[in-house]
Chains A and B, each alone.
Chain A
Amino acid sequence: MPREIPFFDALIPMVLLILLVSAVLYFVLARLVEAVDLAQYVWHPALFRFAIFVVLFSSLSLWWYP
């Protein structure tokens, strides 16, 4: 899998794209979490959300760069 993709002749690292994708996924998930009010059962909501993001981003990147 390519590590960088050209975009108008500028090489964009895939990590950046993965970051964007996981950010989008994260926002969708965060909305879901808000909708079911999961935060009620969570000790540290901000940490929880951060962890969601870390999990998303690292699993996507590890899948792309095995």
Chain B
Amino acid sequence: MNPQSLPMPPAPRTFWRISPEWRQFWLGEAADWLFVFKTVLAAFIALWLAYRLEMQSPRTAVVTVFIVMQARTGMVVAKGFYRALGTLVGSGVSLLLVAAFAQDRGLFLAGLALWVGFLTAGATLYRNFQSYAFVLAGYTACIVGLPAALDPAHAFDIATTRLSEVMLGIGVASVVSGLVFPLSSRSLLLAAARQRFDSLMSATGRVIGFGIPRTEWGSLHLKAINDIMQLDSYRSFGLFEDQKTRAQNETVQQMSAELIAAASTLNLLNQHLLRVNRSAMNPVRDTLDPLLAIGVRILTAEPPAAPADRLELLAQWQQEITRQIPLISQTMTDQLNAKQRLALDATFLLLQQFLQELMRYGRHFLALQSAEHAALIEQPPSPRRPLAERQFWHKTDWLQPLIAALRTIIVLSIMSWFWVSTAWPKGEMALIIAVAISALFSTVPNPAKAAQQMGLGVALSIALAFGFGFMILPHLYGFLGLAVGLAPFLMLGAYLMTQPKWTGLGAGFGIFFSTLAIPGNQLQLFNYVGLVNNAITLLLAISLLIVAFFTLMPAGNRLSRHRMLHALDKQLLVACQHPLKGLRRSFERDTRELLRQVVGIPGLKAAHNTAALSRALTVQALGRIVIELRKLTQPVASVTLSEPQWLLISPNIKVTPKTRRRMPYWRAPALQGQPAPTQPGLLRDLPEYVAQWISAMAQLYQRPSRHYRLAARQALHQAEQYFPHDPEAADEPHNRQIQIYLYLAQNLMTRLPGQTPPSAPTKAAPADEPYEVPPDAARNSVL
């Protein structure tokens, strides 16, 4: 990406003004060292303040600094905010627990387990730092609650101490990150938006040129999903950063929504054009080519024009298309057969819709890039989406949070049982650490691996803490000496955190080295035994955790894999059955989110991945078509929806998905008779045929089988057959649209579930396509 062409707002008013080349350096390597420097600086300030304020364990403040510190100011403040929130809630609950169950350790531990499990489940339902707040509220209850329960008379003091130490760490980290060479996440946001714009443009150019093959489209699609999620994260960090980003919050959300809409239409368009490329459609292709060539020229020009100019050109092209369509249709009527005419009309319909959505997206994009374009949004009133449609929820299958919660509860129970039955003096610490890490890692895609890295970090920190504690610390005098002695170790931790490969190790090292090595406020003797005890405890806790993550429903286990894929399929039921209002947005968004999670499941083979991807693309395209058809045939659709048994349209299928769902599957009656054939003439109206097809699709996706697949195909066939009988009705624009969407659906009927896919997914995806979370997101998700 060329940073010079970024239409930057007046110039970032940071106090170092640098040329773009330097900027690149600053954002790369220098940013890492800056991060190291800032982290260590913040750690020392926090440590000094904690000593000065005579806090009980100054190390908590340093640990907090290590946890909260991130590359960008907005991220630090966001994480700090949610950490403060979580700590506050957790401390409150721990006090409640102590007040209620101080006498009975069994009840107390049970209550703690429930609370932690509940919040771990909650954490998997959210994204980014919101999820972190949940986790934190859970395990802070542990950190504060356990010592408090052991010493109920001082419970309140323990809670306030913990709270003030954490707050001190957060405050110092935020201030240092905001004041010392601040790096704003706004530039990241702008760059990400720009990159997405460019790739959408080039993808569009290729689609209308030749079409993008399905496999390649899959990987492009995934990348787009990740980019959009990334964009949304940057937006949420920016909220904590500066006023400008806050003011544009809505613009970014709108932009993402419009982008998704445009991308989904592009998907349909791509599939359609691939079909048009076949030889039977040659006349159509010939007719379209001159018109499409204009667009290709605009979109693939080298070097690319500025976004504003490109959008201007595209707008002209859009007008041109609108002007040409009637002319082309008129001249071509006689030369094309019915199928070809349908294909031509379908292209026009999709193209026009796509361009409309693209222009809407473009306007928001420009408004984001510079304030002078902001007025553009107002020009044609593009409706503001309600909040619910703009937000990204972390949509997932309900089983996943449950698994996470159960695992944490089991870890907590094992640890407590061990503690209670052996009266291990360090049991409390082991319990705290096990629960904290188990909760933390339940939200990362591959917890076992993360825990392993953490374990390495713990081992390293133990070794170095020994070295520091007994070889270096005795020679140090005063705070300055301590700082000088600590600096290399803290720098090592911070540096490891900047390397995406070692993030977990770095975080583990930073946290546990600080815990083990930093002396408390009261003078402590150099305590070999204590350190060895702590080290053993840490190692035991972390090994138990690693074992738990590998054995108790490990990530990517069969059940959750199956459930996730099923959840993806179920999205089609959502498209068929949910109320139409705002359905398209939520459908597109949730399907994308689910797909991202499915692909992120560790241990999924490349072939499975490709299969899942192809399945998701089918669901997305079909769902979109179903929604459009439901909109077009709304009166019928809404009537049938308001009734409980909305599938009664088809007289032969009496079992509705709803009634079936209530029965165990082995008792659910099979369908009567042959696959949903209806006598022609029984259904008089086109919408009813369409509704019949939709209901057949819903049934198919509810219980994929050959039987339902045939039924769905037949229903579609019947709906399509409706048209030739009635040529006048077919030319009416409304009906024509229905016909076009049915035609598009026809294209996808070979990819329905319940059959072995036509091309078995043996052709593995190219090995060089790691579906990884981008590094920045990875850094945020750890701890």
Chain A interface residues toward B at CB < 8 A = 10, 34, 39-40, 42-47, 50
Contact = CB atoms under 8 A, between A and B. Distances in A.
B243 A43 contact: no
A11 to B, nearest CB: 10
A50 B172 CA distance: 12
Q: Is the interface of A mostly helix, strand, loop or mixed?
A: helix
B73 interface: yes
Contacts of A39: 13, 243
Contact of A50 (B14, B179, B243): B179
B179 A47 contact: yes
Nearest to A34: B243
Given A46-B178, A50-B178, A50-B179, A10 B13 contact: no
B724 to A, nearest CB: 64
Given A10-B156, A34-B243, A45 B179 contact: no
Given A10-B156, A39-B13, A45 B175 contact: no
A39 B15 CA distance: 12
B685 interface: no
Contacts of A42: 13
Contacts of B156: 10
B152 to A, nearest CB: 15
B10 to A, nearest CB: 9
A43 B15 contact: yes
Given A42-B13, A44-B15, 7 more contacts: A10-B156, A39-B13, A44-B14, A45-B242, A46-B178, A50-B175, A50-B178
A10 B92 CA distance: 14
Nearest to A12: B160
B182 interface: yes
A43 B15 CA distance: 6
A46 B13 contact: no
Interface in B13-71: 13-15
Contacts of A45: 13, 242
Interface in B207-245: 242-243
Contacts of A43: 15
Which among A10, A45, A50 has the highest number of chain B CB atoms within 10 Å? A45
B11 to A, nearest CB: 12
Nearest to A10: B156
Contacts of A47: 179
Nearest to A41: B13
B73 A46 contact: yes
Nearest to B247: A34
B158 to A, nearest CB: 13
B174 to A, nearest CB: 10
Nearest to A40: B13
Contacts of B175: 50
B210 to A, nearest CB: 49
Which among B14, B175, B182, B243 has the highest number of chain A CB atoms within 10 Å? B243
Interface string B2-15: 00000000000111
B160 to A, nearest CB: 8
A52 to B, nearest CB: 13
Nearest to A54: B175
Nearest to B241: A46
Given A10-B156, A39-B13, A46 B243 contact: no
16 contacts: A10-B156, A39-B13, A39-B243, A40-B13, A42-B13, A44-B14, A44-B179, A45-B13, A45-B242, A46-B73, A46-B178, A46-B179, A46-B182, A47-B179, A50-B175, A50-B179
A42 B182 CA distance: 15
A42 B242 CA distance: 14
Nearest to A35: B243
A42 B13 CA distance: 9
A46 B176 CA distance: 10
Which among A39, A43, A46, A47 has the highest number of chain B CB atoms within 10 Å? A46
Interface in B169-187: 175, 178-179, 182
A9 B179 CA distance: 39
A10 B179 CA distance: 35
A43 to B, nearest CB: 6
Sorted nearest first, the 4 A-B pairs with minimum C-beta distance are A46-B178, A34-B243, A44-B15, A47-B179
A50 to B, nearest CB: 6
A46 B178 CA distance: 6
A40 B14 CA distance: 11
Nearest to B243: A34
A34 B175 CA distance: 19
Nearest to B10: A40
Nearest to A44: B15
A40 B12 CA distance: 11
Nearest to B164: A16
A10 B155 CA distance: 12
Contacts of B73: 46
